[in-house]
Amino acid sequence: MRGRSEKTYGMMNKRYLRRTDYILIAATAAIIVMSLVIIGSATHINTPSEERYWFVQRQGIFALVNVALAAFLMNFDYKVLEGYGNKLYIFNLVLLVAVMLVGQSALGAQRWITIGPISIQPSEFSKLIMIISIATMLDNKVGHLNTIHDLLPVAAYVGVPFLLVLKQPDLGTSLVFMAIFFGMVYVAGINRKLLLGIFAAGIAAFPIFWHFLKDYQKMRLTVFMNPNVDPLGSGYHIIQSKIAIGSGMLFGKGLFGGTQSQLNFLPENHTDFIFAVVGEELGFIGVTFLLLLYLIVLWRGVVTARDAGDTFGRLLATGITSMLAFHVLVNVGMTMGIMPVTGIPLPLMSYGVSSLTTNIMSIAILLNIERRKQKLVF
């Protein structure tokens, strides 16, 4: 009996290993390694010699910790998460309210909670929590989103954390919530005419929405149209980023050889504008390689959603893929001057513990869904 159990367990392990998405793992690992190299290049010249690679060491340590966490997330049954969807939603609201009450302010926004030597950004974790919560809510509503009355409970469910994040203020993360919401309700079978009507109403309501934006947010939209309106203020980031990317040309200036990033002309060069460092130092070849890696990650996310063995898994994979796609689209577009500056980090590339943890956990859940897409047959 014991021998049969061990044989069955061995067969299960072999089947799980065969179903592991090694392409997704390889693309993710390549992005993380590339991130550590570029973060080192972007920050080494601006820190004391004894702490020259402090940012790389910190990011690398948390990457290893998160890989260990990902190993766990890959091996438990993701369907268990559905039972915690509403509890996680409440926990998420508590975190976001805590940010408003005891959060630390930086760069004009109150987004961080300090725990010892670590500052965490709850709005980053909020993205994954909302994906799980929305998937839980939509699981029983698939094919039943035909009228505005059907959609209102889901919209209200997303609207509360959306407004809490917007209050910080964090317009970028709020927009990510919207991308996740629309991606998931689309897969849940929302009526196409209803969806088009919502988009049309959103465009029509933009003049009203404009009046609720803060002055710096209005200026960001203004300089998006014409950065030279405020070249030394709100338009400075975009101008320097475009100079950095353009000066890289085909092959780039080489690692540690950029001028915009190394000489402090490019702000936030290891976080929001890290793509510009890639463009300057590795050129068109480097950014094409990086975008190809992201394309692979998103492709595997779409395949996982398509082949998921249940509705909850399909919704989870859709939400995660929508989140990653929106991040890449907006961040790359922002650094190239074809999107407004929103402060959305580049997944797995930008420096930041909260962002890195959220993205690696998301990839681990995708791998979990892929491994369990079919029932095991012995």
**Cα distance between residue 354 and residue 347, in whole Å:** 11
**Cα distance between residue 320 and residue 313, in whole Å:** 11
Tokens of 195: 């969806």
Nearest residue to 168 via CA among 207, 117, 208, 113: 113
Q: Give the start-to-end residue ranges of the domains of the chain.
A: 31-371
pLDDT band at 216 (very low <50, low <70, confident <90, very high): confident
For residue 152, give the H/E element and its range. Answer: helix 148-166
For residue 89, give the H/E element and its range. Answer: helix 85-102
376 pLDDT above the threshold of 60 = no
Express each pLDDT in 264-287 by its tens digit. Answer: 788 888 889 999 999 999 999 999
**Cα distance between residue 95 and residue 100, in whole Å:** 9
Identify the residue with better confidence: 112 or 315: 315
Q: What is the mean pLDDT of the chain?
A: 86
Express each pLDDT in 177-213 by its tens digit. Answer: 999 999 999 999 999 899 999 888 888 887 887 777 7
pTM tops 0.85, yes or no: yes
Q: Give pLDDT, residue 15.
A: 62
β-bridge mates for residue 104, sequence order:
112
Least confident of 10-24, 159-173, 191-205, 338-352: 10-24
165 burial (CB, 10 Å; 0-12 / 13-18 / 19+) is: buried
Q: Beta strand 104-106 with 109-115: parallel, antiparallel or unpaired?
A: antiparallel
**Cα distance between residue 255 and residue 38, in whole Å:** 8
**Cα distance between residue 372 and residue 75, in whole Å:** 10
Q: Give pLDDT, residue 75.
A: 83
Q: Give pLDDT, residue 9.
A: 47
**Cα distance between residue 279 and residue 159, in whole Å:** 37
Q: Give pLDDT, residue 374.
A: 58
Mean pLDDT of 44-63: 79
291 pLDDT above the threshold of 90 = yes
β-bridge mates for residue 118, sequence order:
115
137 pLDDT above the threshold of 50 = yes
Placement of tokens 């797995």 in the chain = 348
60 burial (CB, 10 Å; 0-12 / 13-18 / 19+) is: middle
Question: Do residues 289 and 30 touch, judged by C-beta distance below 8 A?
Answer: no
Mean pLDDT of 29-44: 92
In sign, the C-alpha dihedral spanning 313, 318, 323, 328 is: positive
Express each pLDDT in 300-309 by its tens digit. Answer: 999 999 999 8
377 pLDDT above the threshold of 60 = no
Q: Give the percent of the chain with pLDDT over 90.
A: 48
